[in-house]
Amino acid sequence: MNRIESIDLGDFEWPGDEENATEVPGRVFYDPAIYQREQEKIFRGEVWNFVGLEVEIPQRGDYKTVYIGDTPVVLVRGDDEQIHCWVNRCSHRNANIVLDNYGNSDGFYCVYHQWGYGLDGTLESVTFKRGLGGKGGMSECFDQTKHRPRALQVESFHGVIFASFSDEVEPLEEYLGPTVAKFMKRIFNRPIKILGRQRQHMKGNWKLYAENPRDGYHASLLHVFFATFGLFRASQEGRIHVENGGKQTCFYTFAGKEDEQAKAQGTKEAAHTYQEGKFTLEDMSLLAGKMEWDDGINLVIIDVFPIMMLQQIANVLNIRQFEPHGPDSVTVHYTFFGYEDDDEQIDEMRLKQINLIGPAGLVSMEDGLAVEIAQKGIARDSEASAVIKMGGTDVPTEGDFLGDEGPVRGFWNAYTEMMELR
């Protein structure tokens, strides 16, 4: 049901002969055939796709619509608090059933021909099934029980909901890996509340954005704000973890701990970015915050293959889902949150620090630029190839050089294995 036909890529060959992926061919960022294969091998493959937070659908009948790759799905709270996820496609003529982004309903119906569906996606009614005025009706061979949108497997981890098309994918916590699971528990340590949402649309392939948060090399070079105000520099003390064959990555840094000799070198070699003492903020309260954890960690970036990023920068907490639109376009959905027991002062602090993130954020707007100029640079050039050898050619499971491209190599290892490209 809803199977995507496997795509033949002809004589495609991945460049490089190292054990790990250290080069990336430009073709993977613009070829429609590769994008189509991704729908089958990755988004509908043996992965867990982030689809939402339990706090977004707390009551029976609450729902949210999202995309997994190109496939529209509905996330809904059903009876007995059970969470369902099913393909947002009518079993009759393939129209979307649910048209709103969020809402609450006792059931759903397709506006095209008014076929009705339950909260779990079961087909409950067919208009004029037995005809109208003694005429027509569905054929006797029509079995209503055999027609419904495809249901996905659903698991929730500390209130973060994932869905999978695969019945063979490993249990969610095993898929996340020990370090990502540990830091997700750290962030989702108590009930949360939604503070707001933003969207950022980029004219670039979704994998360029997936690379970006795994790439500590760029973080203290592209982001003037990060380096100048000390939120992230490659010279700071921190750790990188890469787990589950490269699928999952976790970065974190410790507040106030930095190698001064390395900082001096960085200031010299990356003079365009390190502007400490030259740039200031008119309102320094943007950086006013508090240490909320007793581990001294002030920045955490978690990447869950293929389409999720979770981030703590100082007191900003946000989770992101990547929504690709063909091979050369992606929308990133940001959900900002705090804790249910936060007081008004902490709410205001988080909301002010959100100015770092999002489409016009003092940090994130530069990531959008990087994705777009990389896409333009490739320009459908089949000979274009990216090099990812900073830090070596291996993929260490743990390291302390925050500029290492090992997590990016890990991502491409996982990608090429699932796509059967190496």
In three state form, how does the secondary structure of 223-267 look? CHHHHHHCCCCCCEEEEEEEECCCCEEEEEEEEEEECHHHHHHHH
Q: How many residues does the chain have?
A: 422
For residue 6, the model assigns a pLDDT of 63
pLDDT at 1: 42
pLDDT given at position 271? 61
Q: What are the chain's domains?
A: 49-155 (2.102.10.10), 178-419 (3.90.380.10)
SS (H, E, C) the chain: CCCCCCCCCCCCCCCCCCCCCCEEEHHHHCCHHHHHHHHHHHHCCCCCEEEEEHHHCCCCCEEEEEEECCEEEEEEECHHHCEEEEECCCCCCCCCCCCCCEEECCCEECCCCCCEECCCCCEEECCCCCCECCECCCCCCCCHHHCCCCECEEEEECCEEEEECCCCCCCHHHHHCHHHHHHHHHHCCCCEEEEEEEEEEECCCHHHHHHHHHCHHHHHHHCHHHHHHCCCCCCEEEEEEEECCCCEEEEEEEEEEECHHHHHHHHHHCCCCCCECCECCCCHHHHCCCCCCCCCEEEEEEEECCCEEEEEECCEEEEEEEEECCCCCEEEEEEEEEECCCCHHHHHHHHHHHHHCCCCCCCHHHHHHHHHHHHHHHCCCCCCEEECCCCCCCCCCEECCCCCCHHHHHHHHHHHHHHCCC
For the chain (length 422 residues), average pLDDT per consecutive 10?
Answer: 62 87 95 95 98 98 98 96 96 97 97 96 95 93 95 98 98 98 98 96 97 87 73 81 98 83 70 68 81 92 98 95 96 97 95 87 86 90 88 94 93 97 88
Q: Are 200 and 358 in contact (CB under 8 A)?
A: yes
| Cα(410)–Cα(422) distance, integer angstroms | 13
User: Which pLDDT does position 9 carry in this prediction?
Assistant: 81
- Of 108, 127, 129, the C-alpha closest to 119 is 108
Residue reference for tokens 């900003």: 316
Cβ proximity of 247 and 308 under 8 Å: no
Residue tagged 């889902």 (tokens): 321
User: What is the reported pLDDT for 285?
Assistant: 82
